[in-house]
A and B are shown apart, each in its own frame.
Chain A
Amino acid sequence: MEHAVQAAVSILFDGIAYSMVLFVMAVGLSVTMGLMGVINLAHGAFAMAGGYLTVTFLGNLGLPFLPGLVLAVLAVGAASIPIEHTLYVRIYNRPHLDQVLLTIGVTLMAIAVATYAYGPSPLSIKLPAFLETQVGVFGRDFPAYRAFIIGVGVLAFLALWAGFERTMLGAKIRAAVDNRAMAEAAGVNTTRLFTLTFALGSALAALGGALAVDLVGLTPRFALQYLVLVLIVVSIGGFGTIMGAFAASLMIGVIDNAGRYLYPEGSAFFIYLVVILVLVVRPGGLFGRA
């Protein structure tokens, strides 16, 4: 009995940590998809870029952990602006097929560049001492780094949620997600709004990528490995909703973790069956408009 309780605590804790990485990575995509209607399969490439830049800043340049992390996130966010201006603006009003292809193309190029620059072998980072300790939760010890991830994830959620609900920018984004033409008519500069949102989404992806390095290691394949999971979160949560992305991340993260603990052999399909089930019942996602 006690064993079962302890196992349940582990599954929950690790599952939530995993969920938070998913959330941070996916929420940007959810918002950009809802706002601009772009299917951006290159989102994983931005996450990968965040991971590699963190490795560079921490490893090669020797920056401390937190400044290095923040710098990597800002760098990816800034770099995404010219990319949005040169590439993405051209596909906003194009068919989904074109969007899928262009962004797959960008992903493949990013993978090739990463392979060229960093090699195909997995890379890792060195965590600061305060994250190398353990924290106790309900009688079990957990790595402090995972608690840190949960903290970052929850903070990001609260900040985004408040920003969406309480600020002018958030109100504009919500308005544009609901009805772009109407928002434009009301004087919202959607072009600038798109760029800002895209940069924010890419920066968040980079944060997710950087956080994941220590959990799963970093190879150029990262851009594709996480993509499917992130897409799952976005489609299950529904586009353009912070709450949806958060709930879907928690659901997928915990279910996936529990499935792999309890029934490793079936873990591979389990998650896909959940996706098929949810989408067939609610095509717009749990929190989306049907």
Chain B
Amino acid sequence: MRKRSTSWIMPLALLAIGAGAPQAAADTVKVGVILPFSGMAADVAQSELRAMKLYYKLHKAELGGNDITLIERDSKEPSGATAQTLTRELVVQDKVDMLVGYQFSPDAIASAPFITQAKKLAILVNAQSSYIPKLSPYIVRLSASSWQITYPMGPYAVDKLGCKTAIVGYTDFAPGRDVAAAFKAGYEKAGGKLVDSIAMGGPAQVPDFTPYLQRIKDEKPNCVYIFTPAASFNAALARTWRDQKLAEAGIRFLGTGDVTQDSVLPQLGDNAIGWITGGHYTADLNTPENKKFVAAWYKEYGDKVKPDFFTVQGYDAMAAVFHVVKTLKGKIDADKAVAALKGWKVNSPRGPIMIDAETRDIIQNIYVQKVVKKGDSLGIEVIDTIPAVKDPCKELGVGNCGAGSPAKK
């Protein structure tokens, strides 16, 4: 509900609209946007915000008499504390109707209790730790979960890529360990033999991958599955991969979609050709919805920066906001909003997506993406699609979502 008492402007505004169709008083829905506009993920946050604004521009007409304003706040470093303070401020001070954002998992985790307490819908634009939607009944995730991306690649590696033995390598922090656990679970269940699990340095360390890749080479697996946080370390990884001649040693590179993030792909250089990653979006996806989206993006923001999975996460988050505003006709109530999103389906640029009514998490395709040369630069070829993947972590009750879950109630 809009809490502000009707101001004296409202009758004037109605007068100004004139004696047209007698419609309900137009509501402006206030959406608090919490993203790290400064710091190491500043470019990602900007891309997500731009996508939200692009969706708004393209679909504004659908809102009818209502409107949406975004109140943007910078959550800075991934400490959780800043995002949480902003959540409280946006609720108490700016009296927002819903919240969108939360780039880093700790931002969402720290804010979850207050989202529940304040009874506000919170749409996650990123925050991929699998269990997060369990932390509050008002959290709906429009991005992906690390298990959703990784787990299906295990069976795929065994069955389709012939990986009898494999090693998983990950950046050594909680999200990385989550990915490693997901791969191990999926891969071993399908009968693969995981030879080693290598922590490849913390996120704050100098990203020298040489000793890790050397160790992998010496252990001679069929495949490696690698996760590094998007953008930051991938160029160095690609370079070292080539220097250490792992491909020549017959080792196949697999990884999460973070490694081949579209906007950073050119920086990997030819070293990354042939890499296979599993992800929920690539700008090179060959569907009409995506082509329309990418064209609109380039038209709005120029072609210097390619959209990537972060971009589409922002875009779809805004689509969800629109769906709620349209369904509730601008009168936002958290319980009704969540109800409206449960089971909601849409054809996103990333393909058909749906919000799982039970877990409030997204159900989406996972694409098997191969890095190829396209003209002068690198591109992605989708070689296979694993359709309608539900987050396996919550589905199976394993890993962080199982008995030992930090999210247990």
Knowing A225-B205, A264-B198, A264-B215, say if A122 contacts B264 (CB, 8 Å): yes
Question: Is B211 a contact partner of A261 (Cβ separation < 8 A)?
Answer: yes
Q: How far is the CA of A18 from the CA of B232 in the complex (A)?
A: 20
A260 in contact (CB, < 8 A): yes
Question: Is B210 a contact partner of A257 (Cβ separation < 8 A)?
Answer: yes
**Choice from B42, B211, B232 contacting A122 with Cβ under 8 Å:** B232
B43 in contact (CB, < 8 A): yes
Q: Shortest distance in angstroms between B290's beta carbon and chain A's nearest beta carbon? A: 22
B236 in contact (CB, < 8 A): yes
Q: Shortest distance in angstroms between A242's beta carbon and chain B's nearest beta carbon? A: 23
Question: Is B267 a contact partner of A216 (Cβ separation < 8 A)?
Answer: no
B126 in contact (CB, < 8 A): no
**Choice from B199, B232, B243, B264 contacting A145 with Cβ under 8 Å:** B243
Question: Is A119 a contact partner of B43 (Cβ separation < 8 A)?
Answer: yes
Question: Is B243 a contact partner of A146 (Cβ separation < 8 A)?
Answer: yes
Question: Is B267 a contact partner of A267 (Cβ separation < 8 A)?
Answer: no
Of chain B, the residue at the smallest CB distance from A6 is B218
**Choice from B43, B200, B205, B210 contacting A14 with Cβ under 8 Å:** B210
Name the A residues within 8 Å of B79 (CB-CB).
none
A121 in contact (CB, < 8 A): yes
Q: Taking each of A3, A10, A134, A146, which has the highest tally of chain B beta carbons within 10 Å of its own beta carbon?
A: A10
Knowing A120-B43, A217-B233, A225-B205, say if A14 contacts B239 (CB, 8 Å): no
Q: Shortest distance in angstroms between A186's beta carbon and chain B's nearest beta carbon? A: 42
Q: How far is the CA of A222 from the CA of B189 in the complex (A)?
A: 40
Q: How far is the CA of A290 from the CA of B246 in the complex (A)?
A: 46
Q: How far is the CA of A267 from the CA of B34 in the complex (A)?
A: 34
Name the A residues within 8 Å of B212 (CB-CB).
260-261, 264
Question: Is B172 a contact partner of A122 (Cβ separation < 8 A)?
Answer: no
Q: How far is the CA of A261 from the CA of B239 in the complex (A)?
A: 18
Question: Is A10 a contact partner of B214 (Cβ separation < 8 A)?
Answer: yes
Name the A residues within 8 Å of B73 (CB-CB).
none
Q: How far is the CA of A245 from the CA of B214 in the complex (A)?
A: 27
Q: How far is the CA of A261 from the CA of B200 in the complex (A)?
A: 9
Q: Shortest distance in angstroms between A115's beta carbon and chain B's nearest beta carbon? A: 7
Residues of A2-52 at the interface with B, using a CB-CB cut-off of 8 Å, are: 3, 6-7, 10-11, 14, 18
**Choice from A10, A134, A215, A260 contacting B201 with Cβ under 8 Å:** A260
Q: Shortest distance in angstroms between B206's beta carbon and chain A's nearest beta carbon? A: 5
**Choice from B42, B239, B267, B269 contacting A215 with Cβ under 8 Å:** B239
CB < 8 Å A-B pair total: 98
Residues of B222-237 at the interface with A, using a CB-CB cut-off of 8 Å, are: 231-236
Q: Shortest distance in angstroms between A24's beta carbon and chain B's nearest beta carbon? A: 15
**Choice from A11, A219, A264 contacting B232 with Cβ under 8 Å:** A219
Name the A residues within 8 Å of B231 (CB-CB).
120-122
A123 in contact (CB, < 8 A): yes
Of chain B, the residue at the smallest CB distance from A10 is B214
A233 in contact (CB, < 8 A): no
Residues of B264-284 at the interface with A, using a CB-CB cut-off of 8 Å, are: 264, 267, 269
| Secondary structure class of chain A's binding surface, majority of residues | helix
Name the A residues within 8 Å of B206 (CB-CB).
216, 225-226, 229
Question: Is A134 a contact partner of B199 (Cβ separation < 8 A)?
Answer: no
Question: Is A264 a contact partner of B200 (Cβ separation < 8 A)?
Answer: yes
Knowing A141-B245, A264-B198, say if A121 contacts B263 (CB, 8 Å): yes
Q: How far is the CA of A14 from the CA of B204 in the complex (A)?
A: 21
Knowing A121-B231, A124-B267, A268-B202, say if A215 contacts B208 (CB, 8 Å): yes
Question: Is A268 a contact partner of B172 (Cβ separation < 8 A)?
Answer: yes
Q: How far is the CA of A3 from the CA of B246 in the complex (A)?
A: 17
B174 in contact (CB, < 8 A): no
Q: How far is the CA of A258 from the CA of B232 in the complex (A)?
A: 24
Q: Taking each of A115, A119, A120, A145, which has the highest tally of chain B beta carbons within 10 Å of its own beta carbon?
A: A120
**Choice from B201, B210, B235, B239 contacting A268 with Cβ under 8 Å:** B201
Q: Shortest distance in angstroms between B215's beta carbon and chain A's nearest beta carbon? A: 5
Residues of B29-74 at the interface with A, using a CB-CB cut-off of 8 Å, are: 40, 42-43
Spell out B's residues near A (CB within 8 Å).
Answer: 40, 42-43, 172, 198-202, 204-208, 210-212, 214-215, 218, 231-236, 239-240, 243-245, 263-264, 267, 269
A-B contact pairs, 29 of them (CB 8 A): A7-B218, A11-B211, A14-B211, A115-B42, A119-B43, A120-B40, A121-B263, A122-B233, A122-B234, A122-B235, A124-B235, A124-B239, A124-B269, A143-B244, A215-B236, A216-B206, A216-B208, A216-B236, A217-B236, A219-B232, A225-B204, A225-B205, A225-B207, A260-B208, A261-B215, A264-B212, A265-B172, A265-B199, A268-B202
Closest 10 pairs (CB-CB, A-B): A217-B236, A217-B235, A261-B211, A260-B211, A143-B243, A122-B235, A264-B199, A216-B236, A124-B235, A14-B210
User: A7-B214, A145-B243, A215-B236 are known contacts; what are 8 more A-B pairs with Cβ within 8 Å?
Assistant: A18-B208, A121-B231, A121-B263, A122-B231, A215-B208, A221-B40, A225-B206, A260-B212
